[in-house]
Amino acid sequence: MKKVKYKIVMILMIAIFSFSIISMHQKQEEIPTNSNITSNQKIGWGIKRNDNHEQPDVGSSHKKILEENGGICLGNKESKTIYLTFDEGYEAGYTPQLLKALKENEVKATFFITAHYINTKPELVQQMIEEGHIIGNHTPKSLMSINSKGKKV
């Protein structure tokens, strides 16, 4: 009787081990990324201010990068448009009231978000996206990325 139990236990162990090996070697779903077209070149960002009340100079290389990637930096200087931007991560807890006021007045804004903020306030970032605001990166490196549903990727 002991020999039969021993054989059953051994067969079960071999089956479990085999199943584990097979499942480890099955091809995992690949998630496509654009990392093969993304450069790791460090780009310093800034503007050159002037004293003649004209738009600042962002530099031709920066302007080209922005245009190629649908980025926004300078508005049309012929248009009387105000761009409302907020730095998120240093806002002392006023964002819910701010979002409420923006929604009530049908105003869209751009929120530049720190990695810490997206990690601690994902529900507010989700609300910003759902209400049609623009989300910008406010980290020293591109340490965060969010998809159109507000989920970190």
Among the listed ranges 27-36, 96-105, 128-137, 141-150, which one has the minimum average pLDDT value? Answer: 141-150
Structural domains counted in the chain: 1
In a domain, 98, yes or no: yes
Question: How far is it, in rounded angstroms, from Cα 58 to Cα 34?
Answer: 26
CATH number of 94's domain: 3.20.20.370
In a domain, 12, yes or no: no
Question: How far is it, in rounded angstroms, from Cα 32 to Cα 50?
Answer: 43
In a domain, 66, yes or no: no
In a domain, 140, yes or no: yes
Q: What is the CA radius of gyration of the chain?
A: 26
Question: How far is it, in rounded angstroms, from Cα 144 to Cα 153?
Answer: 8
In a domain, 54, yes or no: no
In a domain, 16, yes or no: no
Residue ranges making up the domain that contains 108:
80-153
Tens-place pLDDT, residues 56-93: 888 888 888 878 877 777 777 888 888 888 888 777 88
In a domain, 22, yes or no: no
**Cβ 99 vs Cβ 127: under 8 Å:** yes
In a domain, 145, yes or no: yes
